[in-house]
Structure 1
């Protein structure tokens, strides 16, 4: 393992991750730096941390955050979940046994320079979630759907035919190498800043008309979640129900995954930050207030409110063979089409 980084500016989330890495966890937690991002006169690490069985034949769940530097709450939610799991390892024999049969990955800060700068984009002005080499073939929102005009404007994709940004390429390489070999895998990418409700999105972001190949699997996962936790308030649907974009990383990775026989289901959590603004309009006086709960009690509520979802995805991954092979697959497909593609 490489030595922790140092930065001349306060970066509490990175400091939290590096404190976790330095703690002894009886060999349970493994970490690596998947890339280092040049920032002024220093290098910022992008960490990947792993709990559980490293055998590529076991199912795998991955929690991602910090793709957009302004959305710090996603990083904090992922770190809080990781810290809770590490505490359980000190006493929870059942959880220690679970780790023999599943692998859990954490990438809490994909865009460290953006987070340090309080910007959505990375240090090159590129929106990493518009940076993949995949285009929408339906009309997208002006600018917000991704553009190549200038990095001075938000949602900039980068230059045409240029390589992906270092952070985006490192994330894609990690998913391809560490996640794709698993027979079944889920990803939860944590974001904030859209709407009043918490939303769970799945591909595609490039088309309102084209369902993904594994639509019935996503539909049954949704049904499992709704039936197991009927009092939750998540909206579960394709991203295309809201807007279309060019360059979506999860569209790109999902399309890549179709070359394998395994099932790869990437989900995006969009935390409804407009609720925090409605309850505390004064937080709009600071840029972070658009994407992050400012008052401590609301921050604590958010940090605990998504733990049920994250725990559900862990157990759904662990037990995928119990629910994945369904005799009513055709019925599920029709249900999903009626629900999301009427």
Structure 2
């Protein structure tokens, strides 16, 4: 854990938090903004802000964009902030966007772990990895430490004590998802991360088991539409269990708690940081550089590259009546999805 002396030397705030507050002020004409939790650390207080815009109909499709669950992974936060900036600019003139927002609602939570981002740690100020903090355990063995551990916060990937309440940030995120996304007939969530890897990935449940998620046909249809619209996207789009299993995944927990009659599709965008390190190996000597592009032009390239994905999800929510599988077609999609993701993977 970060020592009190080290915390006292840190600045009052951090760039991403200041940027978010400026955007909330600039977009106050359109965004509904509220704090769903607050974190106090070393005499400083940070709010977990949620900004939303669009239809007030509680049954309208919704999309949530999340970032900064791991405090070191600032590029995910920058991606959501850049999307908010684009929305604010376009709401001045974009008639198509305004018509879209009459039928859908968009939620943006760019900094889910403000205390960790301020302190430049992966975990929150209590040393807990929020993406290992949900109560469920994996069905099978998980990678040592990385799959989630309860030994203590002095080691990475700490889940928290077994019988302790969830961390305030994780509990607030799950409550928000439950009340504003999963309660609707259709909703998506995209959680933006970065981590070791040579390519960018889109992962979906499950992380705790190799079993099929109940909405596999809908996820396969979404993947198919995205690939047809952006055939050179370059993402590996797959269940997270294809990579590794883990305990306490927040999105597994949120998905399993969603009403069975609703279609809630959570996804994690995992940006491959080895792509940036390969071009600038000196980044290995910086904790920030292991998870984020350091050069300004590479950061700008990342922000441009992934904008298509965020825009696609809002359009898919808007046009859901045209593509959501029904009847016998849904069974066909399930067969294709199993063949693509599970039988092909076992060959």
TM-score (norm 2): 0.94
Partner of 1:13: 16
Partner of 2:231: 230
* 1:172 aligned onto 2:174: yes
Secondary structure at the counterpart of residue 164 of structure 1:
coil
**In structure 2, distance between residues paired with 1:186 and 1:294:** 30
Comparing 188-197 with 174-183, greater Cα deviation is found at: 174-183
Partner of 1:197: 199
* 1:152 aligned onto 2:188: no
Q: Is the 8 A contact 1:25 1:86 kept in 2?
A: no
CA displacement, residues 177-231 of structure 1 (integer Å, 9 cap, x when unaligned) = 11122110000000001311110000000112x0000001101110011111111
How far is 1:341 from its partner? 1.6
Secondary structure at the counterpart of residue 70 of structure 2:
coil
How far is 1:120 from its partner? 0.6
Secondary structure at the counterpart of residue 83 of structure 1:
helix
How far is 1:286 from its partner? 1.2
CA displacement, residues 112-169 of structure 1 (integer Å, 9 cap, x when unaligned) = 0110111110000000000001110111000100010010000000001111000000
**In structure 2, distance between residues paired with 1:238 and 1:24:** 35
How many residues are aligned here?
A: 333
Q: Is the 8 A contact 2:62 2:105 kept in 1?
A: yes
How far is 1:328 from its partner? 2.0
**In structure 2, distance between residues paired with 1:270 and 1:284:** 18
* 1:57 aligned onto 2:80: no
CA displacement, residues 295-338 of structure 1 (integer Å, 9 cap, x when unaligned) = 11101000111000000011011111110034422221111111
- 1:64-75 → structure 2 map (5 Å cutoff): 64-75=66-77
Q: Is the 8 A contact 2:62 2:187 kept in 1?
A: yes
Moved segments of 4+, more than 3 Å: none
Secondary structure at the counterpart of residue 341 of structure 1:
helix
Partner of 1:221: 222
Partner of 2:78: 76
Q: Is the 8 A contact 2:188 2:313 kept in 1?
A: yes
How far is 1:9 from its partner? 2.7
Return 5+ residue gaps in structure 2 as ranges: 1-9
Partner of 2:242: 241
**In structure 2, distance between residues paired with 1:144 and 1:42:** 30
CA displacement, residues 243-283 of structure 1 (integer Å, 9 cap, x when unaligned) = 100000000010000x3421100000000111000110011
Secondary structure at the counterpart of residue 13 of structure 1:
helix
**In structure 2, distance between residues paired with 1:24 and 1:184:** 26
What root-mean-square deviation, in Å, do the aligned CA atoms of Structure 1 and Structure 2 show?
Answer: 1.2
**In structure 2, distance between residues paired with 1:24 and 1:155:** 36
**In structure 1, distance between residues paired with 2:27 and 2:147:** 44
Q: Is the 8 A contact 2:143 2:244 kept in 1?
A: yes
How far is 1:55 from its partner? 1.5
Partner of 1:287: 287
Secondary structure at the counterpart of residue 287 of structure 1:
coil
Partner of 2:92: 90
Partner of 1:29: 31
Partner of 1:328: 329
Q: Is the 8 A contact 2:137 2:247 kept in 1?
A: yes
Partner of 1:4: none
Secondary structure at the counterpart of residue 289 of structure 2:
helix
Return 5+ residue gaps in structure 1 as ranges: 1-6
